[in-house]
Structure 1
Amino acid sequence: MFLSWFLIVGVVCSVLLLLGHILSKKSNQLGEEKLSPFECGFNPREGGRVSFSFHFFLVALIFIVFDVELLLLYPYVLVFKGGGGCALWEIILLVSFVVFLSLGYFWEWSVKMLNWKW
């Protein structure tokens, strides 16, 4: 039964992909108008690509990493709040995780990655 459904879904997907490929009109000639950046009908002030601040990228990446690490602490907070007992190894794991998180934060602070002005 599963094999027949798998086969039917595979055939339908293949037919739809083939049909889409046949019916689509591809233009190999990209004109200058299609390659130019569009800015609400006005001529753009700058080029299409604006340089991106690498320091902003680093700060955003650090924020995401620490945000995910703090999100991993949420289940432990629920266990402690619910009054459920925790084993000694769970407490050691939690403390070591927080220490590791703090060491990473202080290292980034010491190499001045968190300073906006270099």
Structure 2
Amino acid sequence: MLMLMTAILIMMLSFLMMMLASIISKKTYIDREKSSPFECGFDSKSSARSPFSLQFFLIAMIFLIFDVEITLILPLIISLKFTNMLSFMMVTIMFMVILLIGLFHEWNQGALNWEY
């Protein structure tokens, strides 16, 4: 009986100490910037109809295109084992030429200019 009471007392004391440590360690002030969700650098509390930067959209699209290109290039390396060298080189060169033509077109259109 004494052992059970001692275990309950220790459990209650540890629970109280954890609750006290939790209360003491909390922040006492709420920061508006840190508590708001981050939405790509925009203020989430402002109007949703604010103008959107076309430059940001173009950069995001170019990033997605190059990300998909990487997922298409990686299987080419694995297929090297199963194909002959001539067909592998032709497919790889055609793929790279298509990517370079796209990059050159984006460059000519000014999508890669970082000026605002």
Q: How does 1:35-74 map to 2 (within 5 A)?
A: 46-74=46-74
CA distance in 2 between partners of 1:71 and 1:64 (Å): 11
Identity %: 35
Q: Distance in 2 between matches of 1:72 and 1:45?
A: 40
Correspondences of 1:1-118 after superposition (within 5 Å):
46-80=46-80, 84=81, 86-87=83-84, 88-117=86-115
How many residue pairs match? The answer is 74
Normalising by structure 1, we get a TM-score of 0.51
| Runs of 5+ unmatched residues, structure 2 | 1-34, 37-43
Q: TM-score, normalised by structure 2?
A: 0.52
Q: Give ranges in structure 1 of 5+ residues lacking alignment.
A: 1-38
- Write out per-residue CA displacement over residues 59-118 of structure 1, whole angstroms, 9 at most, x where no aligned residue: 1011101210121010112344xxx25322232011100111011112211221111215
Structure number with bigger Rg = 2
Quick one: distance in 1 between partners of 2:82 and 2:48?
58
CA RMSD in angstroms, aligned pairs only: 2.5
Question: Could you tell which deviates more after superposition, 84-93 or 57-66?
Answer: 84-93
